[in-house]
Amino acid sequence: MFKRTTLASTIFMALFSQAIYAADDATDSKAKADEPMETIEVVGIRSSLNKAVNIKRQTVQVVDAIVAEDIGKFPDNNVVEALQRVTGVQTTNRESGEVSGVTIRGLTDVTTTVNGREMFTGVGRTLAVQDIPAALLESVEVFKTRDASQIASGIAGQLNVRTHRPFNFEGAKFALNARGVYQDLADKADPIVSALASNRWDSSIGEVGALLNLSFAQTHYRNENASAGAVVPFRTDNLARMFNYPFGLEHGVDRTPGATLDGVEYYLGRDALNQTDINGKRQRPAVNLSLQWAPTDTSEYVFEAFYNGYRNESSNHMILTYADSNRVATDIQPELFEGTNVIKSRAWGNSGAFTSGDYGEQQTDSYMFALGGKWDLNAETTLKSEIVYQTSKFEREGVAMQANSRMPYVFADFNHDDGVMAWTPYLEEYGEELDLTDPSRWTTSTMFDNAGKDKGDALTLTTDIDFYLDWGIFTKAKAGIRYERRGSETYSRDTNRGNAIPLVDLDPGMLGVNSDFFDGRSDLPRSWVAMSGKALWDNREEFRELWGFGADEEGLRRLTLQRNFEIDQTSMAAYVQSEFDTEVFGKRLDGAIGVRYTYASADMDFYKWNADLAQIDHSTGNNTSAKFLPNLTLRYHLLDDVMMRFAYTETLRRPEFGDLNSFVSLHPDTTNVGYGNANGGNPSLKPTESKNYDFSLEYYFGSGNSVYATYFYRDIQGFVFDSLLRTQFPNPDTGVLEDYILSAKGNTSNGVLKGYEVGAVYFLEDVPQWLDGFGIQASGTFLDSNQDIPVFDDTGVIERYDHRGVFGVSDTSYSGVLIYEKEDFSARLSYVWRDNFLHRYGSGRFAHPRGVYRQPEESLDFQVNYNITDNLVVSFDATNLTNKVFNQYYEKEFLNDTASIYSRTFGLGIRYSM
């Protein structure tokens, strides 16, 4: 990690000295509390939407916002769920009982700031937004364009999270929010509680304010997934699996009847059936402390401390059955999908299978401390400066135990019900069903033991000056500098050993049997026996000894965390920007023009154990980049309530620190697929760069109503993409050369993203009383994307480019919210939907297409609030009411990949404020 003591103390003393000087002058100043102050507290759905509309209208940039309806009351379980109703924002990944993935106009690289300060998690470039409790927030701004004064990173956009401050309130404020949330799959109810206490006082040294906001959220969850294995070719004459087919296929081999490989006719079938039943408990504690001091009318200081934590315990109860045996029932022939050579259902016997009991714990602790000041140097000039220190540590540890068996006879339908597979194990053909919960049929095999630790910290200094101009059309200017030292280091261990012990010889308390898998919604085995992951965790020292992890020096070494990399990055930025205001054709034209210069240099140290020499190999490197990023934003006022905007901006995304690692990480073949996986980084990666064009038309009318449309275009260069290379490495346990599929990173892909978004917020006005209080919030996003995805040969050389949509981009998405609010009652019914999208690229080792897509996703949510008194509110809410199956597939929907079901949630809460 970097040395920061001297720099930090110097800057801190400079700010502190200025604060003391201002305090000495306070006796001659008028208290700031004597001045009129705008109150930003909002109550109710309509008032929060009105404020969000005003933020959009008054900001020069293209921006949307969400504002809390009341203290501690954001409109959803977490921030990401609330964002899914913002125009242009798409969300996904509802596993673990919540929505966690967020994109802006289809792109995932979203920079998150808290009160304008960039935050990160662990060694990542971004913040896990879902880890910020919604109860702590006052508002969230979604910036789709950027000006020169903002951080340049995040080609998708920027989320600025605003927390409460004491000067936001007129006086003392207290609020308490408590909810119980029930997850139906986990069959558990959990607490979400928050409390805020704030006050401000006049004193002999000026006005002071203090605010403390606490939050705690707990969630039990259950995720259930059923996935058919990879698509591989089988001979049509005897259904023996074939291995002599090409590598690196983009669209898979020929799927027409009668197709041949090397002159041999083949079917395409699946090589495995897999089910995972994941149960977990997640906790998120958080604290926000804000202290403000205004010693004079012309100065103000703020100290803030922000903490957010993450705790997760999860266990995976898994079963996998291989489906590539060539022993097939004589009178049951494969059923094919019509017009193809792809097997829909078949029978086989004497194939391998294993269960696995996994358990892991994860913990994140992130802290941010900020001290800043603002000084009005004169009537035209304001100086702001701030020093921020933050640190984040992510730790993880997990164990797993496999147990092997043989399946005497299996019948399977790989796509039985709209992407969900079905299968049944039998003792013999047409015989009695096999009992998968019988421990006498299973024998332990491999135990896995892994852990990791990521640590990151940063020290940031910013100074900005704003001043008014009277120079032609230019009315205001600003300039600033930003300096940051960022340190990142990561450690890991990953080891496994084998040992064969019949499960019946183990203490019964070490075993677990799940129940009611997939909620009975398909013909799948609903329970099976496996090692209890939690019992394995509690007794891991005993099993490490039994499996011989510490039997030799190498085993002991592999149980110790090994450093992977240490990176110190110095970044600097400077900007200048001016606002202007004039008339064109008798109409007001205002906006901003500016340029930001950004520079970063990373000194990198990489480490890897060399088993042959019994030493740690060490390499170094440097990654440097610099860029001028201009911006221009125009806002043309066609009418008092109608305006047009145009923006040209440039943004970038620097490579993830882990992607810069020059060493190769090996994951040997443990499931008998015939190869291991290897991952390597690239210390020469460059930033991904995007040139952005936005044009919008907006109409504001009535009381907080609006209709708007935006066209946008993104030209993106240098996406980081993984090449695939078939090669050999020594097995880290045996030293024997084995086949591996090596994934290496490069700036080898470019893309274009364009489209338009439309939206409206409207509450009925001048209507009969029975309609008064109804409103709608609606939006739609329509995207057209194209990405050049490189196709590599066996040596890693690019053969050609495959043209597909950009990863994670749904061409169409929309949301609609029906709102009713009147007097003490309010309700909201919301529906969001997004089209299918390219989720990831699978391995090129198999005969299936590499592109893995997600089927359309939707969510129906409901919320109702009732004000018992002016200070007391009760609420009920429900999410994921459609309770649909989430599916992934390979290019053609009959080539299903994974089917998943996630919890519905039901929450009952109470809020008190005074």
- pLDDT tens for 294-333 read 999 999 999 999 999 999 999 999 999 999 877 776 677 8
The pLDDT assigned to 104 comes to 87
Model pLDDT for residues 642-688, shown as the tens digit of each residue: 999 999 999 999 998 988 887 777 777 766 666 777 777 888 999 99
d(Cα 617, Cα 609) in Å, to the nearest integer? 6
Q: φ and ψ at 21, to 5 degrees?
A: -60, -45
**Residue 289: burial class (beta carbons within 10 Å; 0-12, 13-18, 19+):** middle
Task: Considering only residues 44 and 495, tell me which one the structure prediction assigns the higher pLDDT.
Answer: 495
**CB hemisphere CA count around 96 (13 angstroms):** 19
Average pLDDT over residues 18-39: 38
Please name the amino acid found at residue 747: N
Residue 729 CA: distances (Å) to CA of 245, 665, 669, 678, 679? 22, 10, 12, 9, 12
Q: Where do we find the tokens 């798409």?
A: 90
Secondary element (H or E) of residue 67: strand 63-67
Structure tokens at 461: 């200094």
Count of residues in the chain = 914
Other C-beta atoms closer than 10 Å to the C-beta of 371 total: 20
Asked whether the whole model's pTM tops 0.75, one would answer: yes
Residue 53 CA: distances (Å) to CA of 85, 710, 762? 14, 15, 11
Annotation: CATH topology of 5-913:
Maltoporin; Chain A (2.40.170)
Average pLDDT over residues 47-56: 85
Q: What is the DSSP string of 409-470?
A: EEEEEEEEETTEEEEEEESSTT-PBP-TT-GGG-EEEEEEEEEEEEEEEEEEEEEEEEEEEE
Q: What does the DSSP 8-state code read for residue 47? A: H
**CB hemisphere CA count around 244 (13 angstroms):** 9
Model pLDDT for residues 479-521, shown as the tens digit of each residue: 999 999 999 999 999 888 999 999 999 999 999 999 999 988 8
The pLDDT assigned to 672 comes to 64
Q: Say if residue 402's pLDDT is above 90.
A: yes
